[in-house]
Amino acid sequence: MIALDTNILARFYVDDPSDPEAARQRPIAHRILSGPHGLFVPLTVILELEWVLRAFYGFAAVDFVRVVKHLLGLPNVSVEEWPRISDALDWHAGGLDFADALHLLASGHCTEFLSFDDRRVARRAKRLGATPAVVVPAR
């Protein structure tokens, strides 16, 4: 099994004709992902991929969800903690930041998740019925 870094996945999913390195690396990424070898994608690579696609390439949440679902459909790809990523994708599609969704899902054994981020985390998590409950500490 061969592990993949974020940049391999970004080159596979993003066509950036203005970048000469991308033009050179994209066919290599396609060859790797369509090849016969078993491929492993760590959870942290998925997290970084979301950041790269959103912050650097301007992908919307729906586009990131589509990318990861496509990746998971590739027969030779195994993704670490797929059930947690799948749940995080659902919450992300519902408006929660992807990293925050992963944080909450990793904290499922806890009674509360403390955050000062009332608007982006607490309110959105409550609207989605996410658990554990996100609590904003008293000021």
Is the pLDDT reported for residue 135 higher than 80? yes
Q: Are residues 39 and 15 in the same domain?
A: yes
β-pairing verdict for 77-79 and 112-114: unpaired
Amino acid at 137: P
Q: Are residues 75 and 99 in the same domain?
A: no
Q: Are residues 75 and 133 in the same domain?
A: no
Q: Give the model's pLDDT for residue 138.
A: 86
Quick check: helix, strand or coil at residue 113?
Answer: strand
Q: Are residues 12 and 44 in the same domain?
A: yes
Tokens, residue 97: 């930041």
SS (H, E, C) 37-99: CCEEECHHHHHHHHHHHHHHCCCCHHHHHHHHHHHHHCCCEEECCHHHHHHHHHHHHCCCCHH
Distance, in Å, from the CA atom of 62 to the CA atom of 65, rounded to the nearest integer, reads 5
Q: Is residue 85 part of a domain?
A: no
Q: Is residue 110 part of a domain?
A: yes
Q: Is residue 115 part of a domain?
A: yes
Q: Are residues 66 and 40 in the same domain?
A: yes
Q: Are residues 53 and 13 in the same domain?
A: yes
pLDDT in tens, 91-113: 999 999 999 999 999 999 999 99
Number of domains in the chain: 2
Domain with 110 in it: 95-139
Q: Give the model's pLDDT for residue 33.
A: 96
Q: Is residue 89 part of a domain?
A: no
Distance, in Å, from the CA atom of 58 to the CA atom of 5, rounded to the nearest integer, reads 20
Q: To 5 degrees, how large is the angle CA 102–CA 12–CA 55?
A: 50
Q: Is residue 26 part of a domain?
A: yes
Q: Please give the backbone phi and psi of residue 91, each rounded to the nearest 5 degrees, phi first.
A: -70, -35
Q: Are residues 76 and 100 in the same domain?
A: no
Quick check: helix, strand or coil at residue 114?
Answer: strand
pLDDT in tens, 6-15: 999 999 999 9
Q: Are residues 103 and 71 in the same domain?
A: no
Q: Give the model's pLDDT for residue 60.
A: 95
Q: Are residues 99 and 59 in the same domain?
A: no
Tokens, residue 111: 């009674």
Q: Is residue 53 part of a domain?
A: yes
Contact 108, 131 (CB under 8 A): yes
